Structure 1
Amino acid sequence: MRFDPVECGKRMKALRESKNLTQMQLAEQLNISLNHVKALEHARRLFSIDLVIEISAFFDVSLDYLLLGKTQSTSKAASELNAAIEILERIKKEL
């Protein structure tokens, strides 16, 4: 699996739009210029490590998702967590 800046920019744009934010509003939130946001979304500029971490935290998504589009590992972890919760709830009822 490789980093694809075009796809990463598309994910960033989709996340921004899902929060009904304009590019300018996102730029203000991240304390970067509007041109920087536009360049990231259109893959004309790459993310710094600090900025990609900040974007991931702002949108509450994993770095794996933002950079690589990976969602499988989080869904697997979520299903394992749900299974553990069910087991604990059964044990609680038995007590």
Structure 2
Amino acid sequence: MTYECTDTGDDTMFVVAFDSKTFQSGASLDTAVLMDAPDGYDADAQMTTIKKGTTQTVQVAYVLTDESSPVTVEVSDLFALDDTVKVTREFTL
């Protein structure tokens, strides 16, 4: 999954600013560890601190439960008191 995020507050990292949840067939997906990552994949990007106004591309790999069911992604502010402000998107495989 490729995320593009822009820091609008204090210097931060994707991993500490956003709560990202990924589902397939109603069940959460585990994060994958890639031993032979494809070209351009940077597993450490989500740990990079970015300054206010900077946009960063972050990629996270997941272990799919099957290769045909859609994948739903929900992203919200990690420190929000409720989840009323979140982005949800479904991807067909």
- TM-score of the alignment, normalized to the shorter chain, above 0.5: no
Q: Which has the higher strand share?
A: 2
Give me the TM-score of the superposition, normalised by structure 2: 0.31
When Rg is computed on C-alpha atoms for both structures, the one with the higher figure is 1
Q: Which has the higher helix share?
A: 1
